[in-house]
Chains A and B, each alone.
Chain A
Amino acid sequence: MRDEPALLQGTLDVLVLRALADGQRHGYAVARWIHEITDAALRVEDRALYIALHRALERGWVSAAWGTSENNRRARFYTLTRSGRKALGRQARQWRHYAEAMFKALEGT
């Protein structure tokens, strides 16, 4: 994956947004969710997830606020914004098309 940064970046963007689709999460929770949901198949550094989160923040897809976590520690919570939800829908669709196309191509041979 390290050899394909473009693919990785797009993948992380959509994954980060998807991680927040069910409600607000702090950075660590986002990282854990992604690891678990993909069965750790995407071997990606946590650093990259944080960068993707902050980039989403800059684009206005998510908002962030400091709060207190379940075990009473300070944590930065991220919430999907309305434009973030739209972006997620858009990117998920693109991914589905892409994946289907790849699938067809590979099945067809």
Chain B
Amino acid sequence: VDDREGSGRRLDPAGASPSVQADVDREIQEHLRRRTDELVADGMDAEAAGRQALDEFGDLEEARRALTAIDTRIARRAAARRDWKAGMRNLTGDLRQALRTMRVQPWLTTAIVMTLAIGIGASTAVYAVFNYALFRPVPGVADGDRLVGISVRPGLDTPAYTTATHAHLAAMREMPAFTGLAGFRPRSYPVRLGAADPVTLQVAGVSRGYFDLLGVQAAAGRLLRDDEYEEPGATLAVISERLWRRAYGADPKVVGTQVQVIGHPFTVVGVTRSFLGVERVGDEDVWVPIGAQTILRPSAGTDYSWDRMVGRLAPDVTLATAREQAASAFERIGVFEYGDRTFSAVVSPALTVGAARSEERIAPLFWLAMAGSALLLVLACANGANLLLSRNLRRRRDLALKAALGASRARVVRELLVEAGTVSLLAAGAGLVVAAVLTGLFRSQGLLSYLPLEGLEIDLRVALFAAAAATATIVLAGGLPSVLAARASSQADLGGTARATTRSGRLRQGLVAVQIGLSLALLAGAGVLAVSIARLQSVDLGFQSAGLHTFELQPTVVGRDDATAFLGEVRRRLQATPGIEAVGVAASGHLGSAYVREARTSAGAPSETVMLRLVSDGFLDAMGIPLQAGRDLTAVEAAGPWESSPVLIDELLAERLFGEASPVGRTVQVRWPDEFSTHRIIGVAGSTVALNLRSGHQPAVYGAAGQRRAATFQVRSSLGSAETMSAIRRVVHELEPRLAVDAIRTTGAEVERLTAQERVVARIGSVLAILALGLAMAGIYAAIACAVQERTRELGIRMALGASRLAVGRDVLRRTVMTAAIGLAGGLAVYAWASRYIASQLFGVSALDPATVSTACGLLLVTALAAAWLPARRATRVDPTIALRAE
């Protein structure tokens, strides 16, 4: 038996090959001949035997067609399998070759892998943060992508939102677009867990079917039953797994115990698994039936209402259908409640309003940070390409030998590409490790203070991003060097020395210049961001921040009718506490919030935008705001109503309204809420920062607060922060144990809160810049070390001809400086172009701040020289006699 089927046979893939056809014919003919011979041997005459053989065989033509078709398929498949096997053999050969080469130069390989890994890892980590911030799924719910948020607007064409009433919910529940719909109403309430002091927690009142709709599971106990949600006076509570772990150490015995919400006992029936609410994800820790409203808000009774609703889309229902049905449901219930109001429903694909808001805040940061990490990735690729290039150059003779032995240029390129691909793959793996380390760092450092990063992880989307980054590195770092090396190999003479060709030498210098340029862009960007933060944090606040503590009290949440008297008593007791120097009370916090109103000298005069501060007497003193003229409010004046209150204005408003003249004794009109009221000016205060640090000092009016429901305390203390805070808690709890006093902030913390967003960008920027600097340093070192090694012979000749060691070293350094200068010039151009995108994030410093940019240039130049120092020294140690013998 010879000639195995399908081996070495040429095939025409379009149809039956002649050989397949011939084989089929031959087989049939052999069969017929044998049959005929046999019949003849049995005594039949030859002609009849032939006929019978044919007859027994059946339709000859049809048999030929059928057999040929089958055999053609078989042959084609065999050919495909053979090709694939050959391809795999080549690939495994190349891979084996690649691994062999890597083992020969382990340090260089490690350097390349690490370089690329840093680029891939850093950009992946940055992407992971924003992936989490923008696309994070709501934890603890089932099939979150089929959930939609539904809000109610008090009109057809208004951006405002209003609460959803029971009528809204009932009308929406009838729509077939949703398999279920539930409302929720989260509020901050003081909650007492066991014997501890009350803490402020988000407590959400939820409507019938809330947990079932979301698919929330119980980690302990049970969730609410359908009949419990809307029963008036229900005192059941479900707590979050987070709170359960934090406050109860995950003790299952918590089920059946009581928590106090504003002093009212609620029985804990269960714990949700992972779930933290949907409105602003991560906010909610306690859920109560909406029926509990009759206890928590007695005035509202059983008139249930919800801030928002959440619905689950029925299978195959699109968002558009749901929107149509929501609109028609609202049309059907028509105008109600407020007489002339027509309500409209907004069905949003984002489950949470919070997600949409944080998206708005984060989106510009996202692109800035992604641009930064893209720069770093390109930088790493340039570095990796440079290293690969120098490695390939060292192997030029090897490659030239291959070319001489008949390897095509395509084959050499493929081999080198497989090698680069293997390196990139290793780098991608190491990059994921780098990314994991960096995300861990971001998580532990609380990178985004307004967004807890507890759930930050490398998910599928992030892994895909890393894969894309790795692919980019294969193309950028591997492609060019491979093609170049292959071209060089086909031209190189086998006997030649490893002289650096000027072209690849120039290319490597160019890559170093690119690295320096990109580093400059990153360094300068991170630099101005850091300067901006420093300027922002050292803004003149206009008041004395040292020793100042702020907290809010809202006695009405615990049902106190005597809020004004209560707040006054808290203030008196605080003032009587040893170590506390002064206490001022205002209607709102001073940083980040204010009533924005208008003020003018008289009717018809132009009005100024002012921050209206409703304060107690002694407020300016407590804040450390200087009184520049006149006097402060007296206790009696401050206790009176705003309408008849004398006021102080700040120096900015005084200057704008009255110029040089003294405003004391004159009047100012302030609009609040809709009408202007006239007030006598009794004093002038120093100006202060208002809504945010960026907008700087704003004109202000200080007047009496009169009756109040809530207040922000400003406490100036000579005690330490911890002691001050415990003193404040003690005073408040002596008077009202049900209130939570858990958010006492120092002014420093306030400033940090206001600069959170800027600090995120600055931190990411500085991480990227440090990595970039390190990469650039490594890249410069490698490139120059390699160049020196290749020029050993040339240097040796020059020294043999009498060049001094100093001159040789200087020459190496001069080349470095020139490369760096070219890189810096290019980097400056790139940065100048990109600076417009960074400008919007800056405060008090230009994106092209000369001091910062020149510092960055200087730093890079020093880095370049430091990196070149060792190779330069090595060049000066070249022994001419050895160098001349060297290849």
- Interfacial residues, chain A to chain B (CB-CB below 8 A): 26-28, 31, 45-48, 50-51, 54-55, 57-58, 63-67, 73-77
Contacts and interface: CB of A to CB of B under 8 A. Distances in A.
Interface residues of B, number: 27
Contacts of B71: 54, 57
A51 B67 contact: yes
24 contacts: A27-B30, A27-B31, A28-B34, A46-B56, A47-B57, A47-B58, A47-B60, A48-B58, A50-B31, A54-B67, A54-B74, A57-B70, A57-B71, A58-B73, A63-B5, A65-B1, A65-B2, A65-B3, A65-B5, A66-B1, A67-B2, A73-B30, A73-B34, A76-B26
B27 interface: yes
Taking each of B1, B3, B33, B73, which has the highest tally of chain A beta carbons within 10 Å of its own beta carbon?
B1
Given A45-B57, A75-B30, A55 B70 contact: yes
Contacts of B60: 47
Interface of B: 1-5, 23, 26-28, 30-31, 33-35, 56-60, 62-63, 66-67, 70-71, 73-74
Given A28-B31, A55-B70, 15 more contacts: A26-B30, A27-B27, A27-B30, A45-B56, A45-B57, A47-B57, A47-B63, A50-B27, A50-B28, A51-B63, A51-B67, A54-B67, A75-B27, A76-B27, A76-B30
A55 B74 CA distance: 10
Q: Which 7 A-B pairs have the closest CB atoms?
A: A45-B58, A47-B58, A67-B1, A47-B63, A54-B70, A46-B57, A28-B34
Taking each of A26, A31, A50, which has the highest tally of chain B beta carbons within 10 Å of its own beta carbon?
A50
A51 B5 CA distance: 17
A58 B62 contact: no
A61 to B, nearest CB: 12
Contacts of B56: 45-46
Contact of B3 (A27, A28, A66, A75): A66
Contacts of B67: 50-51, 54
A75 B58 CA distance: 20
Nearest to B70: A54
Given A47-B59, A51-B63, A65-B2, A57 B26 contact: no
B25 to A, nearest CB: 12
A28 B30 contact: yes
Contacts of A67: 1-2
A70 B63 CA distance: 26
A50 B71 CA distance: 12
Contact of B30 (A51, A55, A65, A74): A74
Contact of B58 (A26, A46, A66): A46
B462 to A, nearest CB: 44
A51 to B, nearest CB: 5
B27 A47 contact: no
Chief secondary structure at chain B's binding surface: helix
Given A27-B27, A46-B56, A74-B26, A51 B66 contact: yes
B60 to A, nearest CB: 8
Contact of B74 (A58, A74, A77): A58
Contacts of B63: 47, 50-51
A65 B27 contact: no
Nearest to A75: B30
Contacts of A65: 1-5
B5 A64 contact: yes
A51 B60 CA distance: 12
A63 B57 CA distance: 23
Contacts of A66: 1-3, 23
A52 to B, nearest CB: 10
Contacts of B4: 65
A13 to B, nearest CB: 13
A103 B33 CA distance: 41
A77 B70 CA distance: 17
B42 to A, nearest CB: 13
A58 B68 CA distance: 12
A44 B58 CA distance: 9
A54 B23 CA distance: 12
Nearest to B57: A46
A28 to B, nearest CB: 5
A67 to B, nearest CB: 4
A30 B387 CA distance: 67
A90 to B, nearest CB: 22
Contacts of B2: 65-67
Nearest to A54: B70
A71 B95 CA distance: 52
Nearest to B63: A47
A47 B57 CA distance: 5
B70 A51 contact: yes
B291 to A, nearest CB: 66
Contacts of B74: 54, 57-58
A74 B594 CA distance: 103
B31 A31 contact: yes
Nearest to B31: A28
A60 to B, nearest CB: 9
A73 B26 CA distance: 11
A16 B67 CA distance: 16
A18 B552 CA distance: 92
A75 B71 CA distance: 16
A70 to B, nearest CB: 11
Contacts of B57: 45-47
Nearest to A35: B56
